[in-house]
Amino acid sequence: MKSYDSRTYSINDFLEWDKAGQLELNPRFQRRPVWSDKAKSYLMDTILRGKPMPKIFIRQKINVSTRTSSRDVVDGQQRLRTILSFIKDGFVVSNRQNTEYGGLRFSQLPEDVQAQVLAYEVSVDLLINLPDSEVLDIFSRLNSYAVLLNEQEKINSDHFSPFKVLADNLGHKYNEYWIGQGILTAKNIVRMLEVNLVADLLIAMIEGIKSKKQIKKYYDIYEREFNQDPLLLEQHFDNVIAVIAALFPEGLADTEFHRPHVFYSLFTMVIHCLYGLPLMSEPRKQLEGNAKESARNALERVEEIFGSENTAELSPSEQEFLQDCRRATTDEVVRDRRTKFLLRLIP
């Protein structure tokens, strides 16, 4: 027999249940630590933007004799605590996450925005009159099919800075680009590897070339303080992609540059030419205007290097570049050498 029912309720419904004492946020089912202020702000920013949030599980207990119901929240307590606290003017959304409504309490929002928040619909699975043992069994079964989070998914679950938002937005913005150029697959993108790639590239733009292993370190640093202009970084990122498109009008899918680690070096090479890459000792080169054609021709040497049947015929620097594309490809030293090699190809 079916023991659950899927429904949607407005935030105002939860508010009314809370006022009537019919909503129980039961700590014995709490599985995660209390949320940080940044996490709370990020959830309310999500709601203010009208974007969906994960489903909530509620055990509805029906008292037949009194014909009343109570609702025991078994998963989603922190989300509901956060929402109810915001509605009661308990905190404000961060200016760093929402420039339009940041710094305002719920009662200070325009009335139409307050109405939209109260009308926001939350997806709920109702577990009808189930005992604790049954509830725990359901969650055990759900978790049995859950895919373990990869590093980027773990990072995204507890970081909320403007850097995280920028990496997310750019990753999604170029969703078709990553797939069309053969850089990532649709399956990669489901696991957030496009966000991981963008974060890696943004770190290079800000700090200079770093090992891929340091992505988590910089997420942590930027969570505490991020003094960059996200709009300017996005503009620079867009410009780099545009220059790459001009250099390779037929796309990257049929070139060695579609490989993520080789694409990283192409991207950092273009960054340096356009804006200067922190800590890069090589001189900047021209890639636009009359220099575009010569740069495009020069980069064709990469295809010749990969296609060489006798590596002994390659120069020492070309042999090193080929090895750097095959071993320890995401180490800082190797990345630095690859970018310098590409820069030296450009006349």
Provide the token pair at 294: 């010569």
**Eight-class DSSP state of 114:** H
CB 204 within 8 A of CB 268: yes
Helix (H) / strand (E) containing 10: strand 4-10
The total number of structural domains in the chain stands at 2
By CB atoms closer than 10 A (0-12, 13-18, 19+), residue 347 is exposed
Shared domain check, 74 and 34: yes
Provide the token pair at 83: 């929402």
Shared domain check, 209 and 103: no
Shared domain check, 341 and 282: yes
Shared domain check, 237 and 132: no
Domain end, chosen from 105, 120, 144, is at 144
Shared domain check, 301 and 168: yes
Shared domain check, 183 and 88: no
Shared domain check, 204 and 65: no
Domain end, chosen from 116, 144, 172, is at 144
CA dist 306 → 159, 254, 303, 318 (Å): 39, 13, 5, 10
Shared domain check, 185 and 128: no
Domain end, chosen from 95, 111, 144, is at 144
| Domain range enclosing 308 | 151-345
- Enter the pTM of the model: 0.83
Shared domain check, 158 and 25: no
Shared domain check, 123 and 18: yes
Shared domain check, 187 and 226: yes
Shared domain check, 166 and 26: no
State the Cα–Cα distance between residues 54 and 77, nearest whole angstrom. Answer: 12
pLDDT tens by residue, the chain, 347 residues = 556 789 999 999 999 999 998 898 865 665 555 788 889 999 999 999 999 999 998 988 877 777 777 888 888 889 999 999 999 999 999 998 898 999 999 999 999 999 999 999 999 998 888 887 787 777 767 667 667 789 998 898 888 899 999 999 999 999 999 999 999 999 999 899 999 999 999 999 999 999 999 999 999 999 999 999 999 999 999 999 999 999 999 999 999 999 999 999 999 999 999 999 999 999 999 998 888 999 999 999 999 999 998 888 999 999 999 999 999 999 999 999 999 999 999 99
CB 172 within 8 A of CB 190: no
